[in-house]
Amino acid sequence: MLRFVVSTGCHLCEEAEPIVRRVADRYGLALEVVDMASDDELVRLYAWRVPVVLDADGEVLDEGSIDERVLRRAVRRSRRRFSRRSG
C-alpha cells in the first residue's frame, strides 16, 4: 500500500499524482490519497513537505518534487524490508 499525502491546490501534488499512480500500478499496490487537511497530525508532519509518499509502515518514500525513478527504487527497498521482516 502507498499513502499519498497531498494538499488541495498544490501544483506539485497534481503533477505527482499520475507518477504515484503509475508506480502503485506497476507494483500492484493499493493507493490511498489523503488530503493532509483531514488530519491535524498530517498537517503537523508534512505541511511544508507535500506531496509525500509513504509506505504501509508510514516510512517516507519520496516527497516534494516526486521523481518516478526515485520512487520506484524506494518502493523496491520498502518491499524487500517488509519481506525480510515477514519471512
pLDDT in tens, 46-77: 999 999 999 999 999 999 999 999 999 999 99
Query: Is 5 in contact with 50 (CB distance < 8 Å)?
Result: yes
d(CA 15, CA 51): 10
Grid cell digits, residue 16: 505527482
Is a pLDDT exceeding 90 seen at residue 39?
Answer: yes
What are the E-state strand segments in 7-75? 31-35, 52-54, 60-63
Is a pLDDT exceeding 80 seen at residue 30?
Answer: yes
Mean pLDDT, rounded, for 76-86: 81
Domains and CATH numbers, the chain: 2-86 (3.40.30.10)
Under the banding of pLDDT at 50, 70 and 90, the label for residue 14 is very high
46: Cβ–Cβ under 8 A, 6 or more apart, which residues? 5, 36, 52, 63
